[in-house]
């Protein structure tokens, strides 16, 4: 059994270490934020984009999500068209950038007791922004679709995650401006 003096010493040391680590963590976060790498200027300067349908993994349609595998492409295309920031072209050779959209199914282990990796157990939207000329990926963003039990909730979560993906593109495009904060 520990004496009250030892307990107090332990508590003091624990408190001192904890309090000292908070400013270090805050400084580390500030340093990470202040040294953000630039967004490729092509993302801001592009006028025309081609949206590529990279599809969806099997087993996601018609359950848990209603519709077909083209739902990802159709909804993303409509959202980008409604935004109006880029001119959407039907031929990739006419585009400045290629936006490749895809929905991946969960790859995580089904049995958590046998988990061997850190895979996301939720479906994930992935948007890769590629330079048309070089075919290099300039940027990629992902959004997970939240878990649900009912078909209606699955579909709402699908729409919410796709909306978040479009918001990510809008934020990225705004931050890629000269003087846009990156």
> 46-89: per-residue pLDDT in tens?
999 999 999 999 889 998 999 999 999 999 999 999 999 999 99
**Angle at alpha carbon of residue 141, lines to 39 and 67, rounded to 5°:** 145
Q: Quick one: pLDDT at residue 170?
A: 96
3-state secondary structure of 54: strand
Residue spans of the domains in the chain: they are: 41-108+117-175
Q: With a cut of 70, say whether residue 175 has pLDDT above it.
A: yes
pLDDT tier for residue 136 given thresholds of 50, 70 and 90: very high
d(CA 16, CA 5) in angstroms, rounded, equals 16
Residues contacting 80, CB < 8 A, separation 6+: 49, 51, 86, 88, 99, 166, 169
Q: Quick one: pLDDT at residue 45?
A: 94
Q: Quick one: pLDDT at residue 80?
A: 98
Domain range 41-108+117-175, CATH architecture: 2-Layer Sandwich (3.30)
Higher pLDDT, 27 or 171: 171
- The neighbouring-strand residues paired with 72 are none
d(CA 68, CA 60) in angstroms, rounded, equals 9
Helical ranges in the chain per DSSP H: 4-34, 41-45, 71-83, 151-175
Q: Quick one: pLDDT at residue 41?
A: 94
What is the value of pTM for the model shown?
0.73
Q: With a cut of 50, say whether residue 3 has pLDDT above it.
A: yes
d(CA 158, CA 150) in angstroms, rounded, equals 12
DSSP state of 169: H
Q: Quick one: pLDDT at residue 75?
A: 98
Percentage of the residues of the chain whose pLDDT score is greater than 70: 70
Q: Quick one: pLDDT at residue 37?
A: 87
Q: With a cut of 70, say whether residue 144 has pLDDT above it.
A: yes
Provide the Cα torsion 79, 84, 90, 96; round to 10°: -120
Q: With a cut of 90, say whether residue 26 has pLDDT above it.
A: no
3-state secondary structure of 101: strand
Q: Quick one: pLDDT at residue 51?
A: 98
Number of other CB atoms surrounding residue 2 within 10 Å: 9
């Amino acid at each position: 059994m520990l004496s009250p003096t030892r307990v107090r010493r332990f508590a003091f040391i624990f408190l001192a270490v904890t309090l000292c680590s908070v400013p270090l963590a805050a400084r580390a976060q500030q340093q990470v934020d202040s040294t953000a790498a630039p967004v490729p200027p092509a993302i801001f300067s592009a006028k025309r984009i081609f949206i590529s349908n990279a599809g969806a993994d099997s087993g996601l349609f018609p359950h848990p999500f209603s519709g077909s595998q083209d739902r990802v492409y159709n909804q993303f295309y409509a959202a980008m068209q409604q935004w109006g920031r880029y001119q959407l072209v039907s031929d990739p050779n006419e585009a400045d950038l290629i936006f490749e959209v895809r929905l991946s199914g969960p790859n995580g282990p089904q049995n958590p007791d046998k988990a061997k990796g850190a895979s996301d157990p939720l479906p994930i939207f992935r948007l890769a922004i590629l330079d048309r000329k070089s075919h290099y990926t300039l940027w990629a963003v992902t959004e997970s679709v939240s878990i649900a039990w009912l078909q209606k909730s699955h579909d709402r979560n699908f729409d919410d995650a796709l909306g978040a993906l479009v918001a990510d593109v809008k934020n990225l495009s705004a931050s890629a401006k000269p003087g846009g904060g990156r």
